[in-house]
């Protein structure tokens, strides 16, 4: 639990730096660090599929943001930061921190399975994993239970994750290819004029 608290504190620090820095490239790097720390937090919370999706989307978003920043020579924000704006930012961060601490105080002990809490509160007949193991073969006909879970019981979830990854990769390729085409066109123009 203490590692997750450290990760959350580092994410908040990164968010404040990303908001308050005048260097846009540093701000993008801070946003990337926040996404990377979030994927590590997902790993510690036992969600490797979400961690991988977060990491891939974060890397592609960083590539797009860095290319957009560097290609337009937008490396810094002009103008002074107002004291009033800084005060409001700090106040909003403190309010969010207080709300977050109050939310964590109401959580059950770390490591308590979610389905155990639901069974106690609502009388649900056990965790999904027990249903998958007991009835997986007869309901899906798949000999491999992992395949049954991914492609039958959680098919829409798997499709959604694959769609997010596919769209992210297509978006990054589209942006990177347009830049390569502009370079090729510029080289062609130079060779024709020279």
CA distances to 12, 181, 182, 189 from 194, in Å:
54, 20, 18, 9
Per-residue pLDDT of the chain (194 residues; tens, 9 = 90+): 577 888 888 888 888 888 888 888 888 888 888 999 888 888 888 777 788 888 888 888 888 888 777 766 655 555 555 666 677 777 877 887 777 777 666 666 766 666 665 555 555 566 677 777 888 888 888 878 888 887 788 888 888 888 888 888 888 888 777 766 777 777 777 777 76
Say how far apart CA 36 and CA 135 lie, in whole Å: 37
In a domain, 149, yes or no: no
What tokens does 52 get? 């991988």
Parent domain of 174: 2-112+154-193
Strand partners, 98: none
In a domain, 97, yes or no: yes
Structural domain total, the chain: 1
For the chain, report the end-to-end CA distance as a whole number of angstroms.
65
């Amino acid at each position: 639990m203490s590692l997750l608290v450290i990760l959350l504190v580092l994410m908040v620090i990164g968010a404040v730096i990303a908001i308050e820095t005048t260097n846009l490239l540093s701000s993008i790097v801070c946003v990337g660090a926040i996404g990377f720390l979030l994927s590590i937090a997902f790993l510690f919370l036992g969600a490797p599929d979400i961690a991988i999706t977060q990491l891939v989307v974060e890397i592609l978003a960083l590539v797009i943001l860095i290319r957009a920043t560097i290609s337009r020579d937008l490396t810094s924000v002009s103008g002074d930061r107002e004291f009033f704006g800084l005060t409001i930012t700090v106040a909003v961060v403190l309010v969010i921190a207080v709300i977050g601490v109050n939310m964590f105080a109401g959580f059950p002990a770390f490591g308590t399975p979610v389905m155990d809490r639901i069974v106690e509160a609502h009388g649900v007949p056990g965790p999904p994993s027990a249903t998958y193991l007991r009835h997986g073969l007869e309901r899906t006909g798949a000999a491999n239970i992992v395949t049954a879970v991914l492609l039958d019981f959680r098919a829409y979830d798997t499709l959604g994750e694959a769609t997010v990854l596919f769209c992210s990769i297509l978006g990054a390729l589209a942006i990177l290819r347009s830049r390569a085409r502009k370079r090729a066109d510029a080289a062609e123009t130079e060779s024709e004029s020279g």
